[in-house]
Amino acid sequence: MKTIQVDPGRPDPAAIQQAAALLRAGGLVAFPTETVYGLGANALDPEAVARIYAAKRRPSYNPLIVHVPDAAAAQALAADWPAHAAACAAAFWPGPLTLVVAKHARVPDAVTAGLSRVALRVPAHPVAQALLRAAELPVAAPSANRSSELSPTLARHVEKSLEAAVDLILDAGPASVGIESTVIDLSGSAPILLRPGSIPQMALERVLGPVSLPGSAGKPGEARPSPGMLDRHYAPRAELRLFTPCGVLDVRPDYTVGALLLTTQVMAQFPVRMPADPDGYAQRLYAELHRLDDAGCDLILVERVADTPEWAGVRDRLERAARRG
Ligand code: TXA
Ligand code: MG
């Protein structure tokens, strides 16, 4: 069996040792984090890292996040550890936050897609923590899905997308946060929020002072762009269309339609009432989109969420998923 079930709070040490040994041998291990499942490989081994790009069919210009068990291990991979990084680490790690800082020479270019900066994260999930400590290696891990497709919040989603390419999947049940980590670039004079997540901007600003936004789409020509954030992303197989209640919905009559709804109703074979709070919504978002895809939907209608800061993470994922091409 390639998938091993582990207790999310107290994972079986034998399973963790098996996964750690695979990582040390250059293999690919899918493991749970509190955000989404990651596809892990030894970040210091360019061949293992190349296997991640091949498995995901990820464009080589899109760098990977390196996962470590604590802030000291993160600092060891940075050429420079600014006061802002120390402050963020103290306030938010372990947790769903990724920091981009100048990279240490020991981080291979394969991980950063040739950039001089590296993205670092200390996940809180006990299984991720146990694995990182047992492997005694920094672990490069993008979300464990084919590039541009839906991220996995269940081991089953990983099996569906990548099973053939993965040496082992650790199944610890559903991810609690449900959308990818907040990514903040601290490598320049002012912090830039590259990817909104579950940590509200205001919480970041309490620690960092003003944080600038590149805009949810990531504008080309920005000073320090994040190469992977310009593309369509997080998309189901079905067409995803955002709508505002009271607007006119023009839907082909032969379409099988799913819908993620908050306040309104639409004609759909698979309507889903979503939680009205951003954390609850985020936790269920990918699982519902996977389910609607699996049900054979051609079109998924998604009621727009509020244009407020608390919804920024969810809004970003929905807008990217709705983008064509
Ligand atoms: O929650 C998460 O962050 C999950 C779990 C597994 O930790 N990982 C994840 O990885 O979402 P991925 O590869 O799907 O997204 C990483 C994002 C990409 O948009 C990439 O462009 C950005 O982080 N990134 C990585 N390294 C970067 C760097 N050196 N500079 C700027 N952006 C970077
Ligand atoms: Mg991803």
From first to last of its 325 residues, the chain has per-residue pLDDT tens of 599 999 999 999 999 999 999 999 999 999 999 999 999 999 999 999 999 999 999 999 999 999 999 999 999 999 999 999 999 999 999 999 999 999 999 999 999 999 999 999 999 999 999 999 999 999 999 999 999 899 999 999 999 999 889 999 999 999 999 999 999 999 998 999 999 999 999 999 999 999 998 743 444 444 456 776 766 788 999 999 999 998 778 889 999 999 999 999 999 999 999 999 999 999 999 999 999 999 999 999 999 999 999 999 999 999 999 987 6
Is the distance from the beta carbon of residue 117 to the nearest atom of ligand 1 less than 6 Å?
A: yes
Is the distance from the beta carbon of residue 153 to the nearest atom of ligand 1 less than 6 Å?
A: no
- Tokens 């990820």: give the residue: 58
Is the distance from the beta carbon of residue 15 to the nearest atom of ligand 1 less than 6 Å?
A: no
Cis preceding linkage at 152, omega within 30: no
For residues 196 and 186, give the distance between their C-alpha atoms in angstroms, rounded to a whole number: 15
Cα dihedral sign, 53-59-61-63 = negative
Is the distance from the beta carbon of residue 145 to the nearest atom of ligand 1 less than 6 Å?
A: no
Segments of the chain assigned to CATH 3.90.870.10 = 2-208
Closest CA to 38 of 157, 136, 135, 119: 157
Count of CB atoms situated within 10 Å of the CB of 18: 16
Going from the C-alpha of 230 to that of each of 3, 186, 214, 225, 289, the distances in angstroms are 33, 19, 11, 9, 21
For residues 291 and 294, give the distance between their C-alpha atoms in angstroms, rounded to a whole number: 5
Are the CB atoms for 66 and 120 separated by under 8 Å? yes
Segments of the chain assigned to CATH 3.40.50 = 239-322
In CATH, the number for domain 2-208 is 3.90.870.10
Count of CB atoms situated within 10 Å of the CB of 307: 8
The verdict on pTM exceeding 0.75 is yes
Cα dihedral sign, 42-46-48-53 = positive
Report pLDDT for 247.
Answer: 78
CA of 200 to the centre of ligand 1 (A): 18
At 70, the amino acid letter reads D
- Ligand 1 binding pocket mutation candidate from 34, 49, 61, 65 (most atoms within 8 A of CB): 65
* CATH fit for domain 239-322, picks 1.25.10, 3.90.660, 3.40.50, 1.10.3470: 3.40.50
Is the distance from the beta carbon of residue 229 to the nearest atom of ligand 1 less than 6 Å?
A: yes
For residues 182 and 179, give the distance between their C-alpha atoms in angstroms, rounded to a whole number: 9
Beta strands in the chain (DSSP E): 3-5, 29-31, 38-42, 65-67, 97-102, 117-121, 139-140, 168-171, 182-185, 192-195, 239-243, 257-261, 270-273, 299-303
Report pLDDT for 216.
Answer: 39
H helices of the chain, in order, are 13-24, 46-56, 71-75, 83-92, 109-112, 126-135, 155-162, 201-208, 278-294, 312-322
